[in-house]
Amino acid sequence: MNATYKILSLHLVEGQLKRGEEIGIRIDYTLTQDSTGTMAYLQFEAMGIPRVKTEKSVAYIDHNTLQTGFENADDHMYLTTVAKKHGVYLSKPGNGVCHQVNLERFAIPGKTLLGSDSHTPTAGGLGMLAIGAGGLDVAVAMGGGAYYLPCPAVVNVRLTGKLRRGVAAKDVILEVLRRLTVKGGVGKVMEYTGEGIKTLSIPERATITNMGAELGATTSIFPADAMARDFLCAQGREQDYTPVLPDPDATYDETVTIDLSALEPMVALPHMPDNVKTLREAGPVKVDQVCIGSCTNSSYLDMMRVARILKGKTVHPDVGLVIAPGSRQVLGMLAANGALNDMIQAGARITETACGFCIGMGQSPRTGAVSLRTNNRNFFGRSGTKSAGIYLVSCETAAASALSGVLSDPRALDVDLDIPMPEKFAYNDNLILPPAPPEAAGAVEVVRGPNIRPFPQAEKLADNLNGQTLLKMEDNITTDHIMPSDSKLLPFRSNIPKLSDYCLTPVDATFPARAKAAGGGILIAGQNYGQGSSREHAALVPLYLHIRAVIAKSFARIHRDNLINNGILPLVFQNEADYDRFDQGDELALDGVRALVTTGAEVIPVRNVTKGFTCNTLLKLSDRQRGMILAGGLINMVREKE
Ligand code: MIC
Ligand code: SF4
């Protein structure tokens, strides 16, 4: 068995480990962050379960930390009190980005983790089977329910050789993205093996599993070996170590081989993480801004390499350099050993240990800027400046370019980049608040500010569905298109009515008004619809706008689940060419759709009333998903069963 199937088989509670068949797995740990967490805890509360049933559940506050109005702070209060009451640990703002803190303080090899954030697979760097999901799925897991997924295929990413100086783990995952694209991982787990993995530290492995999310993969995982043991020891967590290794004769569905020694520094050009070129191919692009940090590249090792490159130098006069260390542990260690001062003296603007620039919470670049960043996504508009182009690179490339003012190869620097792994990290968990003990939980009052509004709930699937094609979209529409999130909108993650005014506006600014005037309708999309974030808001807001179905060439995994959980039909063109026969404004009818779904039909005919033709779409659902679609979402289904 490979390592993935070993963990899956130990957690299997429903189904069989047969590719593509739906399985249910037990979830040991959950993770939420604030921008998806408020909704997840509202849903958890709606289930009426007094205390989480997982081994450990942790709520992090790291996304919405700008606090330009009362909204974020109110959300923080709600999260702090709801966590305390229901048995959840709370990582306070300032403690760090959820995935970095989780890696340092909580991740355990061989356990399962479900997180309401698409980069939850970061913990795969330590051999944890860590999966990103919508808030509702995480709420169910907190309540002790299984997590359902199609049994994944496992890809063996075999690493050989050793990275050369100046070539980073980020370049490895950019190479995987270059080869496999942003939809190359759908339905798959990427399991890393081979001699080359022994040369990669845990934070480097975590960079790779983190950005595996951009492949659309279910998750990515490294084995837990001596490197994992040493990392856990250095975090004072030796008792958390269990080896997780594939059997010597393990089998895989596919193999991809990468020779680390042959890699060179890479860059993902705007506006997709798979738009990858070597630095040589990209050339010396002039740079306006450099941002270093995010859950992909903000570990102690990353930051120390940056500090080494910056030490004694000054940032190029035309460049703004922003550095956000990933956690308080990292920031504290940089402060103690003087590296922070090297960064400050070089001219870096140090921001708090949070998501910050990565999600457009501040540091939006100037009009038309070239912004070089070490995070994982460069989707259109995500930086908060629509006309800017985001280029994704390693920390080494980012720091070298900040000094030269143009996209620069760090291999040309005469700097020692060999940073030893500390024997002990300076850990301190005093910003992680434990929950109230069960006997005191009843007295904890959950504080709800005025920004916390009820979430919409779907209705039972109607006998027939009719509606106008409100919007026809291209391939690779991201959740940042469907429900944009920047410093102005993130404060409203608990306020679906407010967010509805911005739904799909990066594609068409008139969409919300038209959807409201039409009283709802149907969306048409291309390949990989809904890639990116786990945000359930990308389904809840369309639900609020009465979107009843999305017809696409294909869907991204988490978004498809979020649509089904909220009773919205995800239909796939049986014949992709039919996509071309639809236009915005066409009236569509799904005759007898309820009867079809009830009988388990996988083919749903869609009648284009305006153009006078009918074409087939596919709806492949498990029995459980069929129940949700018929009942109008997961919550209704659970209620019906009660
Ligand atoms: C992201 O990186 O896009 C986010 C913001 O972390 C999202 C979660 C969210 O939308 O709140 C994610 O990755 O799931
Ligand atoms: Fe935060 Fe960016 Fe990581 Fe998302 S990708 S969790 S916004 S740092």
Report pLDDT digits (tens) over 206-261: 999 999 999 999 999 999 999 999 999 999 999 999 999 999 999 999 999 999 99
Q: Give the pLDDT confidence score for residue 5 in this predicted structure.
A: 98
CA–centroid distance, 320 to ligand 1, in Å, is 25
* Residue whose CA is at the smallest distance from ligand 2 atom 2: 358
Report pLDDT digits (tens) over 318-330: 999 999 999 999 9
CA–centroid distance, 36 to ligand 1, in Å, is 8
How many whole angstroms separate alpha carbon 404 and alpha carbon 396?
A: 13
390 Cβ inside 6 Å of ligand 2: no
**DSSP letters along 311-328, please?**
TT----TT-EEEEE-SBH
% of the chain at pLDDT higher than 90: 97
535 Cβ inside 6 Å of ligand 1: yes
How many whole angstroms separate alpha carbon 127 and alpha carbon 206?
A: 10
User: Is 322 in contact with 292 (CB distance < 8 Å)?
Assistant: yes
The amino acid at residue 481 is: H
Give the C-alpha distances (Å, rounded to integers) separating 52 from 49, 86, 431. 7, 6, 21
Question: Average pLDDT of 397-416?
Answer: 98
The SS3 call for residue 116 is coil
Question: Average pLDDT of 190-210?
Answer: 98
Mutate which of 170, 353, 358 for ligand 2? The one with the most ligand atoms within 8 Å of its CB, which is 358
Mutate which of 291, 359, 382 for ligand 2? The one with the most ligand atoms within 8 Å of its CB, which is 359
Q: Give the pLDDT confidence score for residue 210 in this predicted structure.
A: 98
Report pLDDT digits (tens) over 35-60: 999 999 999 998 899 999 999 999 99
% of the chain at pLDDT higher than 70: 100
Q: What is the mean pLDDT of the chain?
A: 97
Report pLDDT digits (tens) over 344-361: 999 999 999 999 999 999
Give the confidence band of 641 by pLDDT, cuts at 50, 70, 90.
confident
Q: Give the pLDDT confidence score for residue 638 in this predicted structure.
A: 79
User: Is 555 in contact with 576 (CB distance < 8 Å)?
Assistant: no
Q: Give the pLDDT confidence score for residue 202 in this predicted structure.
A: 98
Of all atoms in ligand 1, which is nearest to the CA of residue 535?
10
Question: Average pLDDT of 256-279?
Answer: 98
Of all atoms in ligand 1, which is nearest to the CA of residue 558?
14
Question: Average pLDDT of 98-127?
Answer: 98
Q: Above 70 in pLDDT, residue 563?
A: yes
355 Cβ inside 6 Å of ligand 2: yes
Q: What CATH number has the domain spanning 267-412? A: 3.30.499.10
User: Is 34 in contact with 79 (CB distance < 8 Å)?
Assistant: yes
Q: Give the pLDDT confidence score for residue 299 in this predicted structure.
A: 98
117 Cβ inside 6 Å of ligand 1: yes
Give the confidence band of 635 by pLDDT, cuts at 50, 70, 90.
confident
Q: Give the pLDDT confidence score for residue 639 in this predicted structure.
A: 76
Question: Average pLDDT of 49-78?
Answer: 96
559 Cβ inside 6 Å of ligand 1: no
How many whole angstroms separate alpha carbon 542 and alpha carbon 520?
A: 9
Question: Would you say the CATH fold of 267-412 matches that of 3-262?
Answer: yes
375 Cβ inside 6 Å of ligand 1: no
Question: Average pLDDT of 154-173?
Answer: 98
User: Is 384 in contact with 402 (CB distance < 8 Å)?
Assistant: no
Tokens 């990116």 — which residue?
Answer: 532
* Residue whose CA is at the smallest distance from ligand 1 atom 12: 533
HSE-up of 92 (CA within 13 Å, CB side)?
Answer: 10
Give the confidence band of 114 by pLDDT, cuts at 50, 70, 90.
very high
119 Cβ inside 6 Å of ligand 1: yes
294 Cβ inside 6 Å of ligand 2: yes
409 Cβ inside 6 Å of ligand 2: no
Report which bound ligand comes closest to the CA of 532: 1
Q: Give the pLDDT confidence score for residue 642 in this predicted structure.
A: 66
Question: Average pLDDT of 9-24?
Answer: 97
Q: Where in the chain are the domains?
A: 3-262, 267-412, 465-641
Q: Give the pLDDT confidence score for residue 453 in this predicted structure.
A: 87
The listed CATH number (3.40.50.620, 3.30.56.10, 3.20.19.10, 3.40.640.10) that belongs to domain 465-641: 3.20.19.10
Q: What CATH number has the domain spanning 3-262? A: 3.30.499.10
The SS3 call for residue 157 is strand
Give the confidence band of 640 by pLDDT, cuts at 50, 70, 90.
confident
CA–centroid distance, 413 to ligand 1, in Å, is 34
